[in-house]
Chains A and B, each alone.
Chain A
Amino acid sequence: MDEMTPNVRTAAVRADGLSRRYGATRALDEVDLTLERGITGLLGPNGAGKTTLLSILATVNEPDAGRVSVFGLDPREAAERVEIRRRLGYLPQELGYHRHFTVAGFVDYVAILKEITDRRRRAEEVARVLAAIGLEARARTRIRALSGGMRQRLGIAQALLGHPELLILDEPTAGLDPEQRLRFRELLSGLPGDPVVVLSTHQADDIAAICPQVIVLLQGRVRFAGTPSELAATAAGRVWAADQRDDRAHLSWRGGDNRWRHIGDYPPTGAEPVTPTVEDGYLLLSHAAGAR
Chain B
Amino acid sequence: MTATGGGPAVRGTGAAAPAGTGDRSRVTARHRAGRLRTVLGLARVEASLLVRSLLVLAGLLAGGAVVWVIFGSVEPLWWNAAWRIGFGQLVLGMAVLVAAQLAAGRARRDSMADLYASFPATACTRTVAHLAGLVGAAPASLVLIGATAVVVQVRGPIGAPSITVLAGGLLLVIAAGAAGIAIGTRFPHPLAGVLGALVLFLSSATSHLGSGGGIWLLPWEWTQDQLGSLPGPLAGYPPAGAHVLELAGIAVLAGIVALTVTAGRARARGGLATAGILALVVICLAGAMQLRPIPTAELNHLVREAADPASVQRCTTASHVRYCLYPGFGRDLPSVEAPVSGVLAHLPARPDQPLTLRQVLSLYLPDSTLTHGHPERQVSQWQAQMQRAPGNAATASAIYLPVGWWPAAGGRLADAHFDVALAAAEWAARIPHQATGNPNGPVFLPCVPLDQAREAIAIWLAILATRPPAGELQDGLGGLGTGRGFQGVEVRNTMVPTWAYPGWGASYITSAGAPQTTAAGYLLASAMLRLPEQKAARVLKSAWPTWLNWHTTDAQLAAALGIRMPSVPAPPAPFRTPRPGVTFVQPGSGPQNPLCTA
Contact residues of A with B, CB < 8 Å?
3-13, 16, 31-38, 40, 55, 58-60, 69, 71-74, 77-80, 82-83, 85-86, 88, 90-92, 94-99, 108-110, 112-115, 117, 158, 194, 213, 215, 222-227, 230
Q: Is there an interface contact between B122 and A69, defined as CB atoms closer than 8 Å?
A: no
Chain A residues with Cβ below 8 Å from B13 are: 9-12, 36-37
User: By the criterion CB–CB under 8 Å, are B4 and A33 in contact?
Assistant: yes
User: With A and B bound together, what is the CA distance between A110 and B118 in angstroms?
Assistant: 11
Q: B111 in the interface, Cβ–Cβ < 8 Å?
A: yes
A-B contact sample (17 more), CB < 8 A, given A55-B114, A73-B16:
A4-B16, A6-B16, A8-B15, A32-B4, A72-B18, A80-B24, A85-B118, A91-B115, A92-B115, A96-B112, A108-B45, A109-B42, A115-B120, A117-B38, A222-B7, A224-B6, A224-B7
Query: Could you tell me which B residues sit within 8 Å of A by CB distance?
Result: 1-8, 10-19, 23-24, 26-28, 31, 34, 37-38, 40-42, 45, 106, 109-112, 114-122, 126, 264-265
List the B side residues contacting A10 at CB < 8 Å: 10, 12-13, 15, 17
Chain B residue at minimum C-beta to C-beta distance from A72 = B16
Q: Which residue of B lies closest to A59 (CB)?
A: B118
When the two chains form their complex, are residues B17 and A7 in contact, meaning their CB atoms are under 8 A apart?
yes
Check B27 against A71 for contact (C-beta < 8 Å): no
The 4 closest A-B pairs by CB, nearest first: A225-B7, A72-B16, A96-B111, A6-B16
The residue from A16, A71, A92, A226 contacting B7, defined by CB atoms under 8 A apart: A226
Nearest CB to that of A77 among chain B residues? B24
Which residues on the A side are within 8 Å of B4 (C-beta)?
16, 32-34
Measured CA separation A36–B17 after assembly (Å): 14
Residues of A within 8 A of B122 (CB): 82
Compute how far the CA of A223 lies from the CA of B157 in the bound complex, rounded to whole angstroms. Answer: 82
Among the listed B14, B26, B111, which residue makes an inter-chain contact with A37, where contact means beta carbons less than 8 Å apart?
B14
Q: How far is the CA of A274 from the CA of B465 in the complex (A)?
A: 111
Separation of A158 and B111 alpha carbons in the complex (Å): 15
Dominant SS among interface residues on chain B: loop
The answer to whether B16 and A71 touch across the interface, beta carbons within 8 angstroms, is: yes
In the complex, the answer to whether B264 meets A3 with C-beta atoms within 8 Å is no
Taking the closest CB of chain B, its distance from the CB of A3, in whole angstroms, is 5
Which residues of chain A are within 8 angstroms of B115 by Cβ–Cβ distance? 90-92, 95, 110, 158
Q: Contacting A98 at CB < 8 Å: which of B34, B42, B110?
A: B110
Of the candidates A95, A114, A223, which one forms a contact with B6 in the assembled complex, judged by CB atoms under 8 Å apart? Answer: A223
Chain B nearest CB, measured from A227 CB (Å): 8
Residues of A within 8 A of B3 (CB): 31-34, 215, 222, 224-225
The answer on a CB contact under 8 Å between A72 and B42 is no
Chain A neighbourhood of B10, CB < 8 A: 10-11, 34, 36
Q: Complex formed: what's the CA distance from A83 to B179 in Å? A: 32
Asked if residues A114 and B119 are in contact (CB atoms below 8 Å), the reply is yes
**Which residues of the other chain, A, contact B28 by a CB distance below 8 angstroms?**
79
In the complex, what residues of A have CB within 8 A of residue B26's CB? 3
Chain B residues whose CB sits within 8 angstroms of the CB of A94 once the complex forms: 111
What's the least CB distance linking A197 to chain B, in Å? 10
Set of chain A residues within 8 Å of B114, measured between Cβ atoms: 55, 58, 60, 90, 92, 95
Residue of A nearest to B109 (CB): A96
Question: What are 28 A-to-B residue pairs whose CB atoms are below 8 Å?
Answer: A10-B17, A32-B5, A33-B6, A36-B10, A37-B13, A72-B17, A73-B16, A73-B18, A77-B24, A79-B24, A80-B24, A82-B122, A85-B119, A92-B114, A96-B110, A99-B110, A112-B38, A112-B42, A115-B38, A115-B121, A117-B40, A194-B14, A215-B1, A215-B7, A222-B6, A223-B6, A224-B6, A227-B8
Of A31, A40, A222, most buried by chain B (CB within 10 Å of CB) is A222
A112 touches B41 (CB 8 A): yes
Q: Which residues does chain A contribute within 8 Å of B14, judged by CB atoms?
A: 6, 9, 12, 37, 194
**A91 and B112 alpha carbons, distance in the complex (Å):** 10
Across-interface contacts of A71 in B (CB, < 8 A) = 15-16
Whole-angstrom CA separation of A82 from B6 in the bound complex: 30
Asked if A213 meets B1 with Cβ closer than 8 Å, knowing A9-B13, A10-B13, the reply is yes
Contacts A12-B15, A34-B4, A79-B31: A98 and B112 contacting too (C-beta < 8 A)?
A: yes
Q: Give the residue name and chain of the B residue nearest to A108 (CB).
A: B45
Residues of B within 8 A of A78 (CB): 264-265
Q: Would you call B23 and A82 a contact (CB within 8 A)?
A: no
Query: Could you say which of A16, A82, A85, A213 has the most chain B C-beta atoms within 10 Å of its C-beta?
Result: A82
> Smallest CB–CB gap between A208 and chain B, Å?
16
Q: With contacts A109-B45, A112-B38, A225-B8 known, is A33 near B1, CB below 8 A?
A: yes
Chain B residues, CB < 8 A from A32? 3-6
**Shortest distance from the beta carbon of A119 to any chain B beta carbon, whole Å:** 8
Q: A4, A59, A60, A194: which contacts B23 (Cβ < 8 A)?
A: A4
Closest beta carbon of chain B to A157's beta carbon, Å: 12
Contact of A113 among B5, B7, B40, B42 (CB under 8 A): B42
A112 partner, pick from B23, B31, B121, beta carbons under 8 A: B121
Are A34's CB and B2's CB within 8 A? yes
Chain A residue, CB-CB nearest to B13: A36
A49 CB, min distance to chain B CBs, angstroms: 13
User: A196–B48 Cα gap in the complex (Å)?
Assistant: 36
Which residues does chain A contribute within 8 Å of B34, judged by CB atoms? Answer: 86, 115, 117
Chain A residues with CB under 8 A of B23: 3-4
**Contact between chains at A112 and B112 (CB < 8 Å):** no
Q: How far is the CA of A113 from the CA of B8 in the complex (A)?
A: 37
Q: Roughly how many angstroms separate A114 CA and B119 CA in the complex, as a whole number?
A: 6
Across the interface, do A9 and B15 meet the contact criterion of CB distance under 8 Å?
yes
Determine how close the nearest CB of chain A comes to the CB of B115; give it in whole angstroms: 5
Give the residues in chain B near A222, CB-CB below 8 Å: 3, 6-7
Distance (whole angstroms) from the CB of B212 to the closest CB of chain A: 46
A264 to B114, CA, bound (A): 40
A117 to B35, CA, bound (A): 10
* Given A36-B11, A55-B114: A74 in contact with B27 (beta carbons within 8 A): no
Given the known inter-chain contacts A71-B16, A80-B27, A95-B111, please indicate yes or no for A113 contacting B116, CB distance below 8 A.
yes
Chain A residue nearest in CB terms to B118: A90
Nearest to B1 among chain A residues (CB) is A213
What is the distance, in angstroms, from B550's C-beta to the closest C-beta of chain A? 75
Known: A9-B15, A34-B10, A85-B118. A40 touches B110 (CB 8 A): no
> Are B17's CB and A88's CB within 8 A?
no
Which of B17, B23, B31 has its CB near the most chain A CB atoms (within 10 A)?
Answer: B17
Output the least CB separation between A226 and chain B (Å): 5
Q: Which residues of B are found within 8 Å of A158, using beta-carbon distances?
A: 115
Question: Are A79 and B27 interface neighbours, CB within 8 A?
Answer: yes
